[in-house]
Structure formats: C-alpha cells, structure tokens
C-alpha cells in the first residue's frame, strides 16, 4: 500500500507515474491499473453540501473496494489508484479502512493526496503499513537539483540558482525545463546561467511573505518588484495571478499582527508569541515585535489609514486603476517604515530581496 502526497500537481503526478512503472514491472497498464478520483467537497451539483457530492464520494469508495477485492486479470497484480483521498470524510473512508484490515495479496492500493487532512479512519488503518512516496517538493532549488540528477545533466550552481529564482514557487515547471535543457545541451556539457537564460520564460510567483519583508525593510524597489510578480505570475497550483484586493488582505493581516503587539505589556519574545496566538516561533514573533515598536502607535495608525484609503479606492472610491492603487500603497508603506526607523531593524536580519531564491531564502 502506498501514499503519494504533495501540493505541487506536476511533481505529484510524476511521482505517481514513476511508482506505477515500478509496480507494473512490465505488466500491461491498461489491464492492471484502475484509477479513481474522489470528488471535492465543493463539487456538489449546487455547490453546497448536498447529497450529490457525498454520493459521488461514496460511489468512488465502493468502486475502489470492489476493484481491490477483485483478482487480477492476465497480470501479476491489480493496482488501484485513489486520487484526492483527502476529500473523504472519516465516515466515507470506513469501507477502505475495513478492506485494509484484510487486503487481497494480489492487490496494491495507491492513495494520492494533494494536501489537507487525511481521513482518520484511513490513517489509523494503514498505520505501520503504508509506504510514502513523492512527498513534499521541498524548495524549487531542491527540485532543480533532483530533476537535473535524474536527467543526467550537469547544471552549474549559478544555472540552478537562476532557474530557481526565475521560477519562484512554481516548481511544477522544473521537470519540463530540465527535459528541454537535456534535449538541447545533452549530458556531457556543463550548463551555465547564460545557457539557461533564453529558456526560462516568464517569471514565476513568489512567496507572499516576501512583500511584507520588503515593506518592513523600507525597500521600495524590491517591494514593487515582488508586487508585480504577485499580480502577474501564475503557477501550476495558482491558475490566476493574485487580485489587488488579495494583496491588500495580505498587508492588512500583516499590520493587524503588528497592532496586536503594540501593547506595553508585551515585552519579551514569549509575550509576543502569546499575543500572536501561541502558534508562531520566537524568531518571527521577535521580528514582528521589533517592527511594531519601531513604527509605534502613530506609525501603525498611519499604516491602517493607508490601508483603509486603498480599500476604498479598490472598491470604486476613485477612478485610479487597481494596480496603481496597490503600487502607491506599497510605496507609501515602505516610506513609512523608512521614516520611522523600522526599516533599519528589519534590515539587520538580512536584506530581503525579490531575488532571494526559491521560497524566500536569503542569499
């Protein structure tokens, strides 16, 4: 029994394909493999919690159990792939859990998850039995290294970094790019950053926290570059760029966290962790506390005023284009950090740049 789990669709599907090739061992895939996909909770006919979606999930579980309990036909084993297993509730997954108590020796179950909480009945039933494959992709730079090694190509460090920085969070583009580089340069030549540049295409998205980091550092140029990538870049997990209102919501949440720390009773790292709900580590809590102190009550009040003005403008209060509204907001928030001295505090932890590498690693 196997579990393939990963948030990046391209890499997850690649891991499933490689696992199936391994399990088939030469058997005919059309005869040995049956693939089923569990409908999502939002896939009901009326978009709500009607019985249609639940019935669909129950039907998939029933079909999976029937397939797993059937002997193979003209192959050594029967392989049943159940995709999006995280969509099942604990109750809906019970028949699969019951099957796992006495599985057929000639059947192999492959559960595939794109993230989220797995049904408790399944995780309890397969405890100690399931073999995890695929897993999390790691940083984009990690994926570049793994794919290059698998393809047998020689990427110089500057080339690997160039790929990771350009693609940002879109690690799903790495396998196709590596395949293209292998076809172009072969496996003998060492590939440099200059070699890969013409093949990189559009920039990928970046982690959302880079915008807040750049704003806190008062780095207007970097903040605007990050903002542009957020507003225009897409990934295989994010089919559309972020809307300006989503960017506004991210900045609002950032300053709301700082406001919770604008309290004389919050003095230590532990106080800051508690004020932020107890679910953050000490370093980010200390960083936020330093930023809140540097901005002060007046600075935070001014930031909230800027956010409110932008919110009104984005909702039709002015005729200014939406993208311009958030650009002006980001520039003003950066200037506020610079004037207050908060930028110096943010910068001492290491200057944040839009070219910080995959998933925001500082270089």
**Per-residue pLDDT for the chain (363 aa), expressed as one digit of tens each?**
899 887 777 778 888 888 998 899 888 888 999 999 998 876 554 444 444 578 899 999 999 999 999 999 899 999 999 999 999 999 999 999 999 989 999 999 999 988 778 898 988 888 877 887 765 556 778 788 888 888 888 888 888 888 888 777 677 778 878 888 888 888 888 898 888 887 775 556 677 788 999 999 999 988 988 888 888 776 655 667 788 998 999 999 999 999 999 999 999 989 999 999 887 888 889 999 999 999 999 999 999 999 999 999 888 877 788 888 899 999 999 999 988 776 655 554 443 334 434 333 333
**Reduced 3-state DSSP string for the chain:** CEEEECCCHHHHHHHHHHHHHHHHCCCCHHHHEEEEECCCCCCCCCCCCCHHHHHHHHHHHHHHHHHHCCCCCCCCCEEEEEECHHHCCCCCCHHHHHHHHCCCCCEEEEEEECCCCCCHHHHHHCCCCCEEECCCCCCHHHHHHHHHHHHCCEECHHHHHHHHHHHCCCHHHHHHHHHHHHHHHCCCCEECHHHHHHHCCCCCCCCCHHHHHHHHCCCHHHHHHHHHHHHHCCCCCCCCCCCHHHHHHHHHHHHHHHHHCCCCCCCCHHHHHHHCCCCCCHHHHHHHHHHHHHHHHHHHHHHHHHHHHHHHHHHHHCCCCHHHHHHHHHHHHHHHHHHHCHHHHHHHCCCCCCCCCHHHCCC
Taking the CA atoms of 316, 321, 323 and 324 in sequence, report the sign of the dihedral they define: negative
CA separation for the pair 204, 230 (Å, rounded): 9
The pLDDT, as a whole number, for residue 238 is: 61
What is the C-alpha to C-alpha distance for residues 356 and 222, in angstroms, rounded to an integer?
10
Is the pTM higher than 0.85? The answer reads no
pLDDT at position 134 = 65
For tokens 């394909």, the residue is: 17
Domain annotation for the chain: domains and CATH numbers:
2-133 (3.40.50.300), 140-199 (no CATH), 209-360 (1.20.272.10)
pLDDT value at residue 262: 92
Residues linked to residue 2 through DSSP beta bridges, in sequence order: 110, 131
Could you tell me which residues are beta bridge partners of residue 131? 2
Nearest Cα to Cα of residue 215 among 227, 205, 229:
227
Task: Please give the pLDDT value at position 292.
Answer: 93
């Amino acid at each position: 029994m196997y579990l393939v789990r990963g948030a990046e669709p391209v890499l997850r599907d690649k891991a499933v394909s490689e696992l199936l090739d391994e399990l088939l061992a030469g058997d005919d895939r059309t005869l040995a493999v049956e693939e089923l996909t569990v409908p999502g909770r939002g896939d009901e006919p009326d978009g709500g919690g009607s019985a249609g979606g639940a019935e669909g999930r129950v039907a998939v579980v029933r079909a999976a159990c029937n397939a797993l309990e059937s002997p193979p036909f003209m192959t050594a084993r029967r392989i049943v792939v159940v995709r999006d297993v995280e969509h099942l509730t604990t109750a809906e997954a019970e028949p699969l859990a019951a099957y796992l108590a006495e599985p057929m020796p000639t059947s192999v179950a492959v559960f595939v998850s794109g993230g989220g909480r797995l049904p408790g009945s399944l995780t309890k039933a397969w405890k100690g039995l399931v073999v995890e494959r695929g897993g999390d992709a790691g940083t984009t730079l990690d994926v570049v290294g793994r794919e290059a090694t698998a393809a047998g190509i020689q990427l110089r460090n500057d080339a690997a970094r160039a790929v990771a920085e350009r693609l940002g969070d879109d690690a799903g583009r790495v396998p196709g790019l590596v395949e293209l580089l292998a076809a172009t340069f072969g496996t003998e030549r060492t590939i440099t950053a200059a070699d890969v540049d013409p093949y990189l295409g559009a920039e990928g998205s970046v982690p959302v926290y880079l915008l807040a980091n750049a704003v806190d550092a008062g780095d207007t140029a970097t903040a605007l570059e990050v903002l542009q990538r957020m507003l225009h870049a897409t990934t295989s997990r994010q089919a559309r760029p972020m809307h300006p209102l989503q960017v506004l919501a991210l900045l609002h949440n950032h300053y709301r966290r700082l406001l919770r720390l604008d309290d004389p009773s919050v003095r230590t790292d532990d106080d800051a962790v508690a004020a932020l709900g107890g679910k953050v580590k000490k370093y980010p809590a200390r960083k936020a506390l330093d930023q809140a102190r540097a901005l002060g009550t007046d600075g935070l009040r001014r930031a909230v005023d800027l956010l409110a003005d932008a919110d009104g403008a984005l909702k039709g209060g002015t005729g200014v284009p939406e993208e311009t509204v958030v650009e002006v907001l980001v520039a003003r928030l950066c200037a506020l950090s610079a004037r207050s001295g908060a930028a110096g505090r943010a910068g001492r932890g290491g200057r944040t740049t839009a070219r910080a590498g995959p998933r925001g690693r500082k270089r």
